[in-house]
Structure 1
């Protein structure tokens, strides 16, 4: 809320444009930090006092947590690299293409919120079932969250399909940018369906702490498929870039699905709990 109000103040009220947006975001982040520290001031101080003692007592657990966090870090860094690479390649094709891609990517992120919600639900519910060694409940949770993630993807694609003109008119009033965004808009309609599986599997694997699979699936998808596909489709221009990005999301879902079948098979279930 603070970010929105500050955006209105700095961008519209004070006409500071992108500088105002940056200032608003910075103030909002620090405000969130201050509020978070204030809300957790007592538990935080107690945790600091107990932290060293517990770290010494729970060395193996701390090491495993650090290992899981590092694998998630590698996975997230690879994902951020793929997004930064996408932006850089769009920029190399001109300011209009860069602006059009930025608008479409914002709509991609907005469409992902519904699927992300079920991914977070899968993270918590599947993680609890996995910790309880209840494979039947674990599989039921995965199927339910996967089904609703797919429903969200279908709804997002349909909404994007019927709302192209009002969405683009809302995002920009520049005719050239709107025209360029419309040219590549069909990729936006495809992406929610292409991404539903990878979002849901992300939550499942994080909840079950199978972070090594997440790490390697992302590395294979980004460096084994995304970059080679982009390289071979450069003659398609920006369409080739969007094609490579769509393939990246499909590859993430397919590789994680294969890992899911292998890791969580009945024959391996008891072994991975040890």
Structure 2
């Protein structure tokens, strides 16, 4: 009997060790706001504007689609159900019901997290500081997240280094724009022939896909982009759904880009997680 108990304990430790070995260090990013999860007032919140100030989390893969998160800084596990608001916070020494989440795919690349303990989806944007809490009955915008690999984020930051506004001032053709599903799409020949973007030395941007004119202002320093968040545009009705969708993608790129990478004559606008939002090519 003792040998059986010892064998079970040994197997349990082996499985735990294997689970830990499969841990992958990530940043957790809110799809709705684009902000990264960090610790605010003791609980997790989607409040960091870039990965450098976000919390690193080890993903511990469990049975099936279940997962646990371990805070890399403290070695403790993330627990849902903290307080009456079922907020998420790091600090638990073990993995049990409140520390276990089900990962469910949303739109191919995004995920929703459901607490195994109470069956509710984790929602960002609870309260003024966008705290995370297991409170939602279904997954939609504020319940969707992205796993951003720490290594990939660091590589994107390294690639972005060195590009300042003065390096990319000029006139460009817009060649690619990300669709609403997040995938970069090359513009068709007719649309690409009319798509233009100009950037001056004061950060003023003027752009068009061939229908409406768009204008905004950005600052660029060391590969990092800071949009002013507002895009002015004309109100013409575009010829088809393709132009309308492309204009939506253009506005997303101009308002949510956080990184710029230049390779020869091509400049790529990227989201904070490295996702490509727009490519332009110097004329």
Q: TM-score range by the shorter chain?
A: under 0.3
The structure carrying a bigger strand percent of its residues is 2
Return the TM-score normalized by structure 2. Answer: 0.22
The structure carrying a bigger helix percent of its residues is 1
Return the TM-score normalized by structure 1. Answer: 0.23
